[in-house]
Amino acid sequence: MSLNWALSLSYSINPDYTYMKSELTWQEFIITRAIKASGYSAIVFVALIFFFLLREGLPTLGEVSFSNLVSTRWYPIEDYFGIVPLITGSLIVTIGAALVAIPFGIGTAIYIAEIAPRWMREILKPLVELLGGLPSVVLGFLGILVFSPWLRVFLDLPTGLTALTGSLLLGGIAVPTVVSVAEDALDTVPRSYREGAWALGATKWQTIWRVTLPAARSGVLTGVMLGVGRAIGETMAVMMVTGNAPVLALSLGSLFSPVRTMTATIAAEMGEVASGSVHYHTLFFIGLVLFLISLAVNVAASAVVFRSKKRAERILS
């Protein structure tokens, strides 16, 4: 094959391109800086949020006596700022939600990742995603109109707006988070693990419980933590269906009576307080508590992931 004719066409090494310094240098410099600054913006925002919660929330500690703050009476009009009932309210609703979200979330994740035929998976995954996208106010709205009257009749309660109603709704809201994170974790378990178990004569069922699930446990745990985190922070649906009574909830029996959560308190009362008042500062203080809880949950969740990654690296190397 001769290429001589092609070479003779118009061929000469042109020094223009080879030594042209990039003229885009300063543009590139600015763009690169802007991109880097954007990358760091997340840290700035977390810091800003923390700062403003501190700035508006900490004055409470000087304005409200400590014994008042940790008392069991929340009645701001008469200067009772006991946040304990709000914390127990959040706690009982969240525990109830976790009891719903954990079995249903993990069960659905296992079904989607391990058992469902392909076509079923293609239907279920977007549906669960859709649930994650439903506005919580719509769920709260149906909670008021449909779910709580039904629950009141079914359980023969004086009111349908109870902690239990909130828990069931919140469980539903937390499920998509649990499912998607847990399913991802199950999906990343190498196929060879399963094949190894099958080769040893284990049934699919045994493989799921003794091999796949244990191998994915840190991811599943992360999903549960993030789901619970979502439940603690959920506001609108909870505010609409839990009845909003700031009473101390200490036993499981409280599930069947109205409660008030921290988030609902902020949402319901912040609109009516004068900025800079004691009540205003106290609501910010509750926000600060919520922020710290979510910080702790998320740091713990990512620490679980990080540690298990380390372990995997150690095993694999």
Partner 1 sequence: MNRHLSQRLGFFVLTLVALFTVTPIVAVIVYIFIQGSPAISWEFLTVAPRSGMREGGILPAIIGTFYLTIGTAAFSVPLGIAAAVYLSEYAADNRWTRLIRLAIINLAGIPSVVYGLFGLGLFVLFLNFGTSILSASLTLSIMTLPVIISTAEEALRAVPQAFRTVSISLGATRWQTVRRIVLPQALPGILTGVILGLERAAGETAPILFTGAAFFLPRLPGSVFDATMALPYHLFVISTQVPEMPIQIQYGTALVLLVFVLGMNLIATVIRSRARARRQW
Partner 2 sequence: MNKIVIENLSLQYTDGTESLRGINMDIREHAITALFGPAGGGKSTLLRCLNRLNDLTDVEEISGRILLDGENVLDPQTDIIALRRKVGMVFARPVVLPMSIYQNLTYGLELAGEKRRSVLYEAAERSLKLAALWDEVKDRLDDPAIALSGGQQQRLCLARSLALQPEIILLDEPTSGLDPISTGKVEAALQELKKDYTIILVPHSVQQAARTADYAAFFLQGELVEYGDGAELFTNPKEKRTEDYVTGRFG
Q: Summarize as ranges the residues that interact with partner 2 (CB under 8 A).
A: 1-4, 6-7, 9-11, 13-14, 17-23
Residues 296-315 close enough to bind partner 1 by CB under 8 A: 297-299, 301-302
With CB under 5 to 8 Å by kind, the binding choice for 1 among partner 2, partner 1, none is: partner 2
Interface positions, 57-116, toward partner 1 (CB under 8 A): 103-105, 107-108, 110-112, 115-116
Q: Count how many residues are written for the chain.
A: 317
In terms of CB distance, is 2 or 275 closer to partner 1?
A: 275
290 makes contact with partner 1 (CB under 8 A)? yes
Identify residues 241-260 at the interface with partner 1 (CB under 8 A).
none
Using CB distances below 5 to 8 A depending on partner kind, what does residue 315 bind out of partner 1, partner 2, none?
Answer: none
Q: Which is nearer to partner 1, 88 or 180 (CB)?
A: 180
Q: Does 205 bind partner 1 (CB under 8 A)?
A: yes
Strand partners, 259: 243
Cβ 187 vs Cβ 200: under 8 Å: no
297 binds, among partner 1, partner 2, none (CB under 5 to 8 A by kind): partner 1
| Partner from partner 2, partner 1, none contacting 52, C-beta within 5 to 8 A by type | partner 1
Q: Which positions from 22 to 61 touch partner 1 by CB under 8 A, shown as an x/- string?
A: x-x---x--xx-xxx-xxxxxx-xx-xx--xx-xx-----
The candidate with the shortest Cα–Cα distance to 222, out of 147, 293, 298, is: 298
The reply to whether 278 sits near partner 1 by the rule CB under 8 A is no
Q: Are 213 and 114 in contact (CB under 8 A)?
A: no
